[in-house]
Amino acid sequence: MAGLYFEEFVIGQEFHHEFSRTVTEMDNTMFSLLTQNPQPLHLDAHFAETTEFGQRLFNSLYTLGIMIGMSVYDTTLGTTIGNLGMTDVKFPKPVFHGDTLKAHTKIISKRLSKSRPTQGIVEFEHTATNQRGEVVASCRRTGLMHCKPKA
């Protein structure tokens, strides 16, 4: 597996994920419609032109999903049991069609599970930046991770 086991994470460890993703109008429209979000800021170009942004905004929940998804290969692919929660979700700058996103992850904390002796809890801090290096999203995510299998 490409993901890391609980013991392999180090507090303070940073990952600058290789994958980048240019987001498109189709991505935004499809995600908004699939999640039944009719917000005209995402779907209506003429409406969005009248806002302070002057154009449609990329759906923030999709931005969150892309940011976390980009982290999976380096951190949790095949070694996570599940997400326990997310906190401190922020979108300090808007994302627009054509922006290219990159993700970064820092390990904030970790501890062995008290009730599951072969598992541990890792707190990740994820950040997404656009092509100008501006932070467009961030969150803290707690994951339940497998410990290394005993030999």
pLDDT value, residue 75: 96
Residue 151: pLDDT band (50, 70, 90) is confident
pLDDT in tens, 112-125: 999 998 999 999 99
pLDDT value, residue 92: 98
Helical (H) or strand (E) element with 138: strand 135-146
pLDDT, mean of residues 40-69: 96
Q: Kindly state the tokens that stand for 46.
A: 């003429």
Residue 10: pLDDT band (50, 70, 90) is very high
On the question of pLDDT at 80 being above 90, the answer is yes
Average pLDDT, the chain: 96
Q: Which domains does the chain possess?
A: 6-146 (3.10.129.10)
pLDDT in tens, 20-48: 999 999 999 999 999 999 999 999 999 99
pLDDT value, residue 124: 98
On the question of pLDDT at 150 being above 90, the answer is no
Contact, 79 vs 145, CB < 8 A? yes
pLDDT value, residue 1: 56
- Find tokens 């009248």 and name the residue: 50
Summary count for the chain: helices (H), strands (E): 4, 5
pLDDT, mean of residues 52-70: 97
pTM: 0.93
* Residue 119 Cα distances to 6, 40, 84, angstroms: 7, 44, 13
